[in-house]
Every structure is written in C-alpha cells, then in structure tokens.
Amino acid sequence: MHSYLLPLIAVLIGIVIAIFIKKQNTSYTKLLLSFSGAFLLALTLFDLLPEVYHHIDAKHTGLYIMCGILLQIILEFFSKGAEHGHVHIHKDDTAFPWLLFVSLCIHSFLEGFPIHHHNNMVYGILIHKIPIAILITAFLLKSSYSKMQVVSFLIIFTAMTPLGTFISNHSSFMATYVQVINAIAIGIFLHISTTILFESSEGHKFNLSKLVAIVLGIAIAYIL
C-alpha cells in the first residue's frame, strides 16, 4: 500500500510547503533538490539497473535506456525542464499550459512502473517529488490560472505515479513489458538526476552544503 501512498504524500508535502513559504527558489529547496538527485541516481544504479540487466539482453537494455533518455529530452522540450526544477510559467498568461501538463503527466506515469518490483525506488520517487511539487505549486499559485485549473493540474499530476504503479501491478499486458518500461524509466532517471547534479554546481563553484547533501543522498541509498 505504501507504494501508492508515498508518492501521493510526497506531492501533498510539496504543495503544503509551497503554500507556506510562497517562494519557488530557496536555499533549502535547492539543497533538497540536490539530495533528491543524488538519492534517485544512486537507487537507480544500486537497485534498478542490475535487475533490468538480469532480465534483458545487455545490448537491448542499453538501447531501452537510451530511448528513455531521448524520451525525457523530448518531454523537456515541452516542459522546459520542470522535472528537475525549472518551471517557467508567465504570470500574465491565462492559457492553460497543456504541453507542460501532458509532459509532466507522462513523466510521472512512467515513474510509477519501477516501484512495483523495487520497493526502494518508491523512496527515490518520494524524495524526488517533494522539491518538484514545491516548485510547480509555487509557480502555479503565482500564475493567472483559475483556482479550478490549478487544483485540477495538481490532482491529476499527483495521481499519475500511483496510476503507473497500479497498472504495472494489475495489467497482464504491461507485465510482459515491465522490464522494458523499467529500462526506459532508468534512462529518464539518469537524465533527470544527472541534470540536477550538474546544475547544482552553480557555475562549477564549490558548495560544501550541496556536496554534503549529495553524499548523504548516495550514502542513504546504499544503506537501504
């Protein structure tokens, strides 16, 4: 049950934090983003990657992972990098951001699949979603969209990861391709987490607090 609840709780935590701090860029959010990137990357390498290579031919696995990376690049063309902390919404724009919405939903939906076979991955998704939910909610609250649009956006976005997990658990058709989808998810996770870590350097300047956050993320993922 926690596989369904934790991603929901993560987004709710992010929404509550965004409502109270009312800022999208704080030092704490950036540190949490750095920690989440390292944690997600480490869990992917420690848990998910070896399992997928065990079930699928190595060259095919590499191909699917590259497909996941390419898919995430395409999604970011429409989301402008919201999956790793870049949310660009014009305050005076009243048109609903369909491209951002759809790309984020696809991304979140695919995140739910690896949770089925890898319980530790749910913690990676949990930590990843909190800072992203903070940033998305903060921007939506400052936008000119109606309250109904903002609420609908957040509800559907919140439901997509548990929906992916539910389908991977109960669909016999998806069960046949679950390892392929997991390999694609690995590509997505690799792209997102490495982008977060590269961007966290802020012009390649040494930042001790972010280094500590990254090391902690890796260490905790290894211990799990």
Q: Show me where the domains of the chain are located.
A: 2-223
The pTM score is 0.88
Low-confidence ranges of the chain (pLDDT < 50): none
Question: What is the pLDDT at residue 131?
Answer: 87
Quote the mean pLDDT of the chain: 86
H or E, element range at 166: helix 147-170
Q: What is the pLDDT of residues 53-100, one digit of tens each?
A: 988 999 999 999 999 999 999 998 888 777 766 676 666 667 788 888
* CB half-sphere exposure, 30, CA atoms < 13 A: 13
Angstrom distance (rounded) from CA 70 to CA 135:
24
Amino acid of residue 51: E
Question: What is the pLDDT at residue 206?
Answer: 59
Q: What is the pLDDT of residues 181-194, one digit of tens each?
A: 999 999 999 999 99
Q: Which percentage of the chain shows pLDDT scores above 70? A: 88
Dmax over CA atoms of the chain, in Å, equals 50
CA dist list (Å): 72 to 33, 75, 123, 210 = 18, 5, 21, 25
Place of tokens 């966290």: 200
Token pair recorded at residue 217? 């993320």
H or E, element range at 198: helix 178-199
